[in-house]
Chain A
Amino acid sequence: MTAVEEKPARARLVSGPGMLLVWLYGVMVVGAVSRSVYQIATEFDRAPLAYSLSAVAGVVYGFITYSLVRGGETARRLALVCCAAELAGVLAVGTWTLVDPSAFPDATVWSKYGMGYVFIPVLLPLTAMYWLRKARKQRPGTV
């Protein structure tokens, strides 16, 4: 028992709604990474900007997923920052694709605020940030 107490357990982020979030983020990781890997490998010259942005989106999703699964205060904060960056990315790229479509011969994951992904890219960071802020208040260490 003492061995367990010496090493304080990381605050679990993957419980309750967190599980659903991890699932959705996992789906987005697979979607964004596999899509960008395929497109960069086969037709990068057609829309280099769009495919690079998809790859960046995939990396950000991957990091958030890992942080959620790992848990703990540091991971929670980093995930929060990444979610904010993700939201900023979705909004910026989404606006960019609407204002200047000619820069994007092909779609990115974040085109038109993620319309091709049922707007999950714009809804997910909002939900995740809400969940991560709530998780701080429920930390077991404060009980």
Chain B
Amino acid sequence: MLDVLTLVTGVAALLLAAWCGWAAYRDQPTKDWHFIGMAVVSMLALVQLVIGIVALARGERPGQGTTIFVAYLLGAFACVPAAGLMSLAERTRWGSATVAAGGVVLAVLEVRLYDIWGG
């Protein structure tokens, strides 16, 4: 369950990165549609956080340690909203580039989460 969600969130994060990267390439700031995209990715990360904590509560243990696992879950959840807020403050192509970078960072975090859970 968690592995599937990790994969889906990672792919969604990369799609978001490509989309916002395209906006940055076309010299456009982030728009409403982009923020809906960010909301979707953030929701996935939130669901992942909840399911991860539920898995821990049920006694399952990540391969590389609970503390690291929870830290990465929190980081993954905070990643895209933080980039989104920064793109609100920077209404140029560079705001879009920031969200694109946020998507890439989240994808990397998902790869690490997969490793941490699998051990």
| Chain A residues whose CB sits within 8 angstroms of the CB of B89 once the complex forms | 14, 19
Contacts of A119 in B (CB 8 A): none
Contact B68 A23 (CB under 8 A): no
**Could you say which of B67, B92, B94, B105 contacts A27, with CB atoms under 8 Å apart?**
B105
Provide the bound-state CA to CA distance between A22 and B87, in Å. Answer: 12
The distance in angstroms between the C-alpha atoms of A61 and B67, with both chains bound, is: 23
A118 touches B102 (CB 8 A): no
Q: Which of B61-94 contact A (CB under 8 A)?
A: 67-68, 71, 75, 82-83, 86-87, 89-90, 92, 94
- On whether the beta carbons of A38 and B86 are closer than 8 Å, the reply is no
**Is B95 interfacial (CB 8 A cutoff)?**
yes
Residues of chain A at interface, number, CB under 8 A: 17
**A38, B71: Cβ atoms closer than 8 Å:** yes
Chain B residues engaging chain A, CB cutoff 8 angstroms: 67-68, 71, 75, 82-83, 86-87, 89-90, 92, 94-95, 97-98, 101-102, 105, 108
Decide yes or no: A23 and B75 within 8 Å by CB, A16-B92, A38-B67, A118-B108 being known contacts.
no
**In the complex the two chains form, is A23's CB within 8 Å of B71's CB?**
no
Give the distance to chain B from A32, nearest Cβ to Cβ, in Å: 13
A19 touches B67 (CB 8 A): no
Contact for A20 among B71, B82, B97, CB less than 8 A = B97
Residue pair B108, A23 in contact (C-beta under 8 Å): no
Residues of chain B lying within 8 A (CB to CB) of residue A18: 94
Q: Which residue from B68, B71, B75, B94 sits with its C-beta under 8 Å from A19?
A: B94
Interface string of A11-38 (1 = CB under 8 A from B): 0001111111011101100100010001
Residues of chain B lying within 8 A (CB to CB) of residue A38: 67-68, 71
CB < 8 Å neighbour of B102 from A15, A17, A23, A42: A23
Contacts A17-B94, A17-B97, A23-B82 given; 12 further ones with Cβ under 8 A? A14-B90, A19-B87, A19-B98, A20-B94, A22-B86, A23-B83, A23-B101, A24-B101, A27-B105, A34-B71, A34-B75, A38-B67
